[in-house]
């Protein structure tokens, strides 16, 4: 691979791994129209608003100058604190386009400090203060509709994102490769967790212009605020907080937890083994291969790879694996003793960035034992996955009906009427994609749940 290139496509990665391992080059994402967004150069997958290519992804996300200074500072800060601080491990300029989809495992850390193990209040607060707290969000500027303010007043919605940051990039302007929303019913303490497909065709803020593009680019243009604004605007949500991590933190966390028990299908064994070595080029961890299918304990590198792969069965199954990983992490955390929990917290918490204050997290922890967590199928529920003007997208069919279904499933709003903003965006998405109703090309997310 060229050392001066910032972004690598999945096809380039696959070919390079195939050359190094002598394996067959298995590309293709399982999409009927020939690939995903990462099968195209990132300059083509940028936001143009008309589905076409653009090179308008912020320069900080693809250059060495602005981003490298921040990355160097982060490395210095992380020195000696696990793999996350060793981004320049063996591999140099040959870093691959490693997917940080597993990043959402960090949600288990909301369980770590107080899951019934009797930590003193002051000790827990000291742990929480090691988080990287972001106090810059202005809740009046997060595109929360009147419908969401009123209809979701009994719900707390938090976006959990895993970022796709690579060597030389500004961490604040990288793609959010995994997007998960944790929705807490404040009256019943029921928590529903659902994923948003990264290539969902939605309206984003891009260079001070509203364009229709894949939602993964929202963070690249405007950081966590841009992602929150996009989700609130397009889905009529009331998100005001986020939790963000990258893949290195998660690998360290999973290893500190002693691994996670996950189900590897027979079809994905070869794909996982092809990418484990590649994933490990920046993690400097275990290169242990997968030898059999079924439930087994995966280490940090294997877990990252488990949630990274998608060439065999596509983005929707990858989203399913993310949800399974979250559930496994939370369940594992609940069984760990105080000493183990403390070790995991010491490894992971300093690497997490969140807009949640320590006191807010503490109030959640005090009621954690009563939380009932449920995984829900990914969004959008009905969508077209394929090429539009040479770029791959997941197009909600339609946005309006998918948002109505979301509010019914997650919030119990049986006859939800979308905001005028969502209705207008839905019409624009249909016009640009040509997808006005469900047809033979429509995918139903429920089809991949079992």
Position 51 scores a pLDDT of 39
* pLDDT confidence of residue 259: 94
Kind of pairing between the strands at 201-206 and 382-388: unpaired
Check the CA dihedral 202-204-210-212 and report its sign.
Answer: negative
- pLDDT tens digit sequence for 232-273: 999 999 999 999 987 777 788 899 899 999 999 999 999 999
What's the pLDDT score for residue 110?
A: 44
Percent of the chain with pLDDT over 70: 69
- Location of structure tokens 């800060």: 77
pLDDT score at 147: 94
pLDDT of residue 118: 43
User: Which pLDDT belongs to residue 428?
Assistant: 97
pTM of this prediction? 0.70
The stretches in the chain having pLDDT less than 50 are: 1-119, 448-450
Q: In this structure, are residues 246 and 103 in contact, taking their beta carbons and an 8 Å threshold? A: yes
- Please state whether 419 falls in left (phi above 0), alpha (psi between -120 and 50) or beta: beta
What's residue 373's pLDDT?
A: 74
**pLDDT digit string (tens) for 302-358?**
998 898 887 787 777 887 888 888 888 888 887 887 778 778 888 888 888 999 998
Domains of the chain: 10-448 (3.40.630.190)
**pLDDT score of 164:** 65
**Which pLDDT score, from 0 to 100, does residue 130 have?**
84
Buried b (16+ CB within 10 A) or exposed e, 106-128: bbbbbbbbbbeeebeeeebeebb
The pLDDT value recorded for residue 165 is 63
Structural tokens at position 241: 């907080």
């Amino acid at each position: 691979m060229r050392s001066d290139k910032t972004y690598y496509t999945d096809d380039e990665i696959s070919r390079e791994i195939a050359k190094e391992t002598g394996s067959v080059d298995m590309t293709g994402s399982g999409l009927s129209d020939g690939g995903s967004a990462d099968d195209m150069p990132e300059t083509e997958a940028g936001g143009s608003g008309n589905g076409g290519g653009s090179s308008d992804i912020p320069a900080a996300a693809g250059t060495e100058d602005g981003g490298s200074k921040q990355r160097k500072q982060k490395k210095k800060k992380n020195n000696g604190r696990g793999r996350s601080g060793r981004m320049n491990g063996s591999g140099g300029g040959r870093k691959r386009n490693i997917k940080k989809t597993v990043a959402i495992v960090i949600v288990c850390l909301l369980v770590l400090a107080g899951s019934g193990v009797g930590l003193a209040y002051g000790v827990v607060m000291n742990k929480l203060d090691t988080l990287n707290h972001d106090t810059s969000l202005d809740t009046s500027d997060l595109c929360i509709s009147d419908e969401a303010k009123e209809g979701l007043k009994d719900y707390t919605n938090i976006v959990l994102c895993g970022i796709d940051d690579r060597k030389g990039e500004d961490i604040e302007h990288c793609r959010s490769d995994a997007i998960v929303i944790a929705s807490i019913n404040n009256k019943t303490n029921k928590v529903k967790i659902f994923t948003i497909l990264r290539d969902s065709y939605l309206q984003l803020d891009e260079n001070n212009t509203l364009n229709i593009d894949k939602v993964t680019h929202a963070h690249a243009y405007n950081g966590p605020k841009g992602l929150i604004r996009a989700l609130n605007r397009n889905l009529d949500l009331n998100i005001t907080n986020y939790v963000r991590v990258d893949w290195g933190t998660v690998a360290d966390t999973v290893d500190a937890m002693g691994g996670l028990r996950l189900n590897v299908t027979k079809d994905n064994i070869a794909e996982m083994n092809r990418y484990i070595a590649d994933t490990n080029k920046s993690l400097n961890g275990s290169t242990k291969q997968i030898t059999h299918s079924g439930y087994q304990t995966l280490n940090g590198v294997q877990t990252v790879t488990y949630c990274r792969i998608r060439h065999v069965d596509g983005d929707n199954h990858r989203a399913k694996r993310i949800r399974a990983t979250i559930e496994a992490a939370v369940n594992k955390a609940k069984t760990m003793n105080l000493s183990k929990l403390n070790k995991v917290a010491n490894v992971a918490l300093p690497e997490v960035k969140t807009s949640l204050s320590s006191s807010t997290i503490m109030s959640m922890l005090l009621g954690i034992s009563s939380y009932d967590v449920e995984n829900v199928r990914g969004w959008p529920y009905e969508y077209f996955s394929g090429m539009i003007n040479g770029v791959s997208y997941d197009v909600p069919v339609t946005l309006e009906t998918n948002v109505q279904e979301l509010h019914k499933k997650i919030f119990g709003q049986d006859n939800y009427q979308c905001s005028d903003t969502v209705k207008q965006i839905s019409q624009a998405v249909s016009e640009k994609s040509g997808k006005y109703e469900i047809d033979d090309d429509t995918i139903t997310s429920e089809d991949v749940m079992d």
